[in-house]
């Protein structure tokens, strides 16, 4: 399914039912008096956080969500039935905006969380409400008030424990295939990942979620390439895992590639750039065993990286068990 991370929809709450103009009419009871009942309230519109949803694709074609109106009042002081509320399920990690005012209405964080986005109209009053000592036969009623109508913007950020960083073809998709059951597309050309994919990584009876986003290139923070659209997804990750290709197929410099990614993060969001970081140097299987230490030490020294480094091959699984342990350890250390 295609990943859609933003959508605009129209929300219409229900109108309140009108009050009834009625008088009691029974045999042997003259001048029975007013008996018009109130109407029912219109339905509210709520958003409900639903675990397991990972796309806003449903809202690409279904853009109108309308709650039902309250029923009008009836004679014999019968009140109209209030409408059921409309509940719209959305993925966790979705921010909800009022497009007319740019107001952030709320953010869906927890499974089962409910956010009221449009209030239904108040019920109208029947003529019984207006009876008094000086007005025994009132003919006044009130209509129900209209429900709220709002143009809503939805913006979803992938919720993941680990966010993958790296240049195109650094091996991010291969890694997520190696250590999880996710099956993102893998090929020998750039930008095979066109939308974020999630993978669940298990370690004994514990689980963490890893997000693979499209590869970043220089000036991605300014809209170049595919990375700009998805950089915001990394903001929700607890830990960033930078995948560095030790032997790029395009003969580019691994040091320059690393610094390019780090620079783009800093330009996009300094808070994002300061997130806890792990470094995995990938494609170690392509280096001669007797040269691996020398080559990787030069790279680490040149990029001035002081954190924990893992030496892996996403293709054959070399070093991936140690990397998984490191990811779980750092995720636990950075739990909110």
CA distance 38 to 201: 57
Cα distance between residue 266 and residue 102, in whole Å: 26
Mean pLDDT of 6-34: 88
The answer to whether the annotation marks 168 as part of a ligand binding site is yes
Which stretches within 185-226 are classed as H helix? none
- 167 labelled ligand-binding: yes
Distance CA(46)–CA(11), nearest Å, equals: 10
Judge whether 213 is annotated as a binding position. yes
Say what the pLDDT of residue 186 is: 42
Reply yes or no on whether the pLDDT at 179 is more than 70: yes
Q: What is the pTM of this model?
A: 0.61
193 is in an annotated binding site: yes
Give the CA count within 13 Å in the CB-facing half-sphere of 194. Answer: 8
Q: How far apart are CA 235 and CA 243, in angstroms?
A: 17
Is 108 annotated as belonging to a binding site? no
Q: Report whether 171 contacts 283 (CB < 8 A).
A: yes
What order do you get walking across the sheet with 45-50 strand by strand?
Answer: 86-91, 45-50, 114-118
Quick one: which H or E segment has residue 154? strand 149-156
Q: Is 302 annotated as a binding residue?
A: no
At residue 121, does pLDDT exceed 90?
yes
| 166 is known to lie in a ligand binding site | yes
Q: Is 162-333 a domain of CATH 3.40.190.10?
A: no
Q: So what's the pLDDT on residue 255?
A: 95
Provide the pLDDT for residue 196. Answer: 59
314 annotated as belonging to a binding site for a ligand: yes
Contact residues for 202 (Cβ-Cβ < 8 A; gap 6+): 180
So where are the chain's domains?
A: 6-156, 162-333
Q: Which whole number is the average pLDDT over 305-328?
A: 93
170 marked ligand binding residue: yes
Lowest mean pLDDT among 152-156, 212-216, 260-264, 268-272: 212-216
How many residues can be counted in the chain? 336
Least confident of 20-34, 67-81, 87-101, 219-233: 219-233
How many Å apart are CA 297 and CA 158, to the nearest integer? 34
pLDDT (tens digit per residue) in 185-211 = 444 433 344 455 677 788 887 888 887
Residue % of the chain over a pLDDT of 70: 85
Query: Does residue 215 have a known ligand-binding role?
Result: yes
Q: Give per-residue pLDDT as tens, 21-65.
A: 999 887 777 667 899 999 999 999 999 999 877 778 788 889 999
What are the pLDDT digits (tens) for 224-283?
Answer: 444 455 566 677 788 999 999 999 988 899 999 999 888 888 887 888 888 899 999 999
- Mean pLDDT, the chain, rounded, equals 85
In the predicted structure, residue 218 carries a pLDDT above the cut 70? no
pLDDT at 130 over 80: yes
Q: Are 67 and 149 in contact (CB under 8 A)?
A: no
| Residue 313 marked in a binding site | yes
> Is 5 assigned to a binding site?
no
CATH architecture of 6-156: Distorted Sandwich (2.70)
User: What is the CB neighbour count within 10 angstroms for residue 50?
Assistant: 17
**At a CB cut-off of 8 Å and minimum separation 6, what does 253 contact?**
none
**In the chain, % of residues over pLDDT 90:** 54
């Amino acid at each position: 399914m295609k990943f859609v991370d933003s959508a605009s929809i129209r929300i219409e709450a229900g109108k309140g039912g009108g009050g009834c103009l009625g008088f009691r009419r029974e045999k042997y009871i003259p001048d029975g008096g007013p008996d018009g009942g109130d109407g029912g309230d219109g339905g509210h519109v709520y958003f409900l956080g639903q675990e397991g949803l990972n796309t806003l694709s449903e809202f690409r074609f279904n853009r109108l969500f309308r709650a039902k109106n309250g029923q009008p009042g009836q004679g014999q002081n019968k009140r109209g039935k209030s409408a059921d509320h409309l509940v719209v399920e959305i993925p966790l990690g979705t921010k909800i905006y009022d497009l007319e005012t740019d107001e952030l209405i709320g953010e869906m964080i927890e499974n089962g969380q409910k956010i009221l986005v449009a209030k239904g109209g108040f019920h109208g009053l029947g003529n019984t409400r207006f009876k008094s000592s000086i007005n025994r036969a009132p003919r006044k009623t009130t209509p129900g008030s209209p429900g709220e109508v709002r143009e809503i913007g939805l913006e979803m950020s992938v919720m993941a424990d680990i966010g993958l960083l790296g240049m195109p073809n650094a091996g991010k998709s291969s890694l997520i295939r190696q250590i999880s059951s996710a099956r993102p597309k893998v090929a020998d050309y750039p930008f095979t990942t066109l939308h974020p994919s999630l993978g669940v990584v298990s370690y004994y009876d514990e689980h963490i979620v890893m997000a693979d986003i499209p590869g970043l290139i220089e000036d991605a923070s300014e809209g170049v390439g595919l990375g700009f659209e998805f950089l915001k997804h990394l903001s929700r990750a607890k830990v960033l895992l930078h995948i560095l290709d030790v032997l790029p197929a395009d003969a580019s410099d691994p040091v320059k590639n690393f610094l390019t990614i780090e620079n783009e993060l800093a330009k996009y969001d300094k808070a994002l750039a300061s997130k806890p970081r792990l470094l995995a140097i990938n494609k170690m299987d392509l280096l001669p065993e007797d040269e691996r230490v020398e080559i990787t030490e030069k790279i680490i020294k040149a990029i001035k990286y002081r954190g924990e480094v893992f030496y892996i091959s996403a293709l054959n699984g070399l070093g991936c068990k140690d990397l998984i342990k490191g990811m779980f350890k750092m995720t636990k250390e950075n739990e909110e």
